[in-house]
Structure 1
Amino acid sequence: MGKIFESITTHQRDFILKQKMFFVATAAGEGRVNLSPKGLDAFRLINEHQVAWLNLTGSGNETSMHVQQNPRMTMMFCAFEGSPLILRLYGKAKVLHQADENFDTYSKLFPTFTGTRQIFVLDIDKTQSSCGMGVPLYDFVEQRQQLVQSHDKQGKNGVEAYWKKANQLSFDGDETRVLELSGIQDESE
């Protein structure tokens, strides 16, 4: 039976800080639900009511578009080693693009990555822990570096060109506004 809490407990905080990956789920009012696995050094626990995570450039930009339309977000952590546990964080998210006033404040919390696209800040209103006994045990080897290496090879201009090519529309055809919200002039207009 799952247990519900109003904020991140000390036990949950300790569990979160040991995890090597997490999952993020969002949905707009219509269309598909997006669920993404996240790794690297991209998560920060701000306090018991707020977390932030750094979003690197990827094949889509669903989470940003969803949060612009509907700020609901669920994050999930699960134990792949040690005692079983699944932990979900529920709340309202905001997306910070590079042109946003608070972007620099939060970006200082993370390593510098060429492929940085956005930062998401989740204000937590509930957490839920459940048993996790059905989650398999895995041994962590290392974080993959291919995404970071690809971004470094492309450089900042190449990453922004990729946003223009592949990150302008969501899977459901909604505009993500990634260039506009990042303060980047689209030269083709």
Structure 2
Amino acid sequence: MMKDSSAGLSRRALLKAFAATTVVAAPTYANAAGFLRGSGDIRRIRMYSGRTGERIDMIYWIEGKYVAEAVKEVNHFMRDWRTDGVKSMDLRTIDIMSAAHNMMDANEPYMLLSGYRSPQTNAMLRARSRRVAKNSLHMQGQAADLRLSTRSVNQMAKAAAACRGGGVGKYSGSNFVHMDCGVVRTWGR
């Protein structure tokens, strides 16, 4: 076995140390809150919209700072597609989405069903369904409704709830999860 003469460690010992570090550093449900507080050097968000056909795969945080141009693109992507209205999304919601996606170790991007909603769009949706809140956090740019075809609603909700960063709603009948940066709470089946 070759030894690194300068450090006095074998190649095998270095690989074992690296493997142990990787396991310890991997995000889990137990350390989700620490993950959100910046334990990672980069944060990435991957989504697509079936409504507009657009896709986004964006690193929006690097070494403790949000990337302004990336955040601008995320805001545009998460716009109200019905009115084309854009609102600055609350970055806490984006952080929750990103952390939950990492915890699930999902390769596919989220399907964005709803990000920002204009008051007009929210009123229209509310007229169609009693499940739409009158003062929805979507209108504040603080919520997103998301779907993954490779993860169940329960898996997605568990990952988002582990972040302890806001509200998580399970909509199993419609196959999506609501994530927001409001009061920590859960609902749905």
TM-score (norm 1): 0.27
Higher relative contact order (CA 8 A, sep 6+): 1
Structure number with higher helix proportion: 2
Pick the structure with greater CA Rg: 2
TM-score (norm 2): 0.27
